[in-house]
Amino acid sequence: MDKEILLIDKPKNITSFGVVARVRRVLSEKVGKKVKVGHTGTLDPFATGLLILLVGKGTKRSNEFLKLDKWYEATIKLGAISTTGDPEGEISVSKDAKEPILSEVEKVVQSFQGEILQRVPNFSAVKINGERAYKLARKGVEVEMPKRKVEIFSIEILDYKWPELKIRCHVSSGTYIRTLGEDIGEKLGVGGYLTQLRRTKVGEYSVEDAVSLDEFMRENS
């Protein structure tokens, strides 16, 4: 494996920056001097899967990874919404939500394949007037979030047992899967938010070739 590129299978309940900080610490201790480490695209704390880290001189290669396609597997909880689109927000359950039949779910899910306009989530790292959107959202500041053209190259249902819908998708860079989950729930008329998210591939890099964070820490301590 390229020594400048490190593939980590990120566990849940840790930020991408937290992974970078741990890897930087253990590598710096190992060589006795500070080692540069950076990531090529964040994963939310609740999400797991492939996190590509760049080490040393490799940190200058970040542009190589900006526009790569990504693959995800996600679980959407239907019949409820979250203020953040994921389990970390305030959850509101719809008591009147009626269970959609499978054929209806399939039709809605497939309607998102292709080029779509997607609203950037309030809880995201996008800068609005010089400040991160998530910081504004935490302050309760309401802003008009921009919309972006993204592409869903493929999307399929892995399992559907009300209220959980599991999907797999191959998307363009810049696609927010949290927003995709919310939009699917909204189009079904029942609401929805992500309870699980796993990134399985970025460009040619696969999570199957990654090491867990715990394993990396053990091997390099």
Q: How far apart are CA 23 and CA 164, in angstroms?
A: 35
**What is the torsional sign of CA 148, 138, 66, 203?**
negative
Burial (Cβ within 10 Å: 0-12, 13-18, ≥19) of residue 165: buried
What length does the chain have? 221
Q: For residue 48, give the nearest of 216, 199, 201, 194 by alpha carbon.
A: 199
Catalytic (active site) residue 2: no
DSSP three-state, residue 105: helix
Structure tokens at 94: 């719809």
Alpha carbon separation from 93 to 35, 90, 137, 207 (Å, rounded):
46, 10, 21, 33
The residues near 83 (Cβ < 8 Å, ≥ 6 apart) are 89, 90, 123
Q: Which of 44, 86, 183, 214 is catalytic?
A: 44
Supply the residues annotated as catalytic.
44
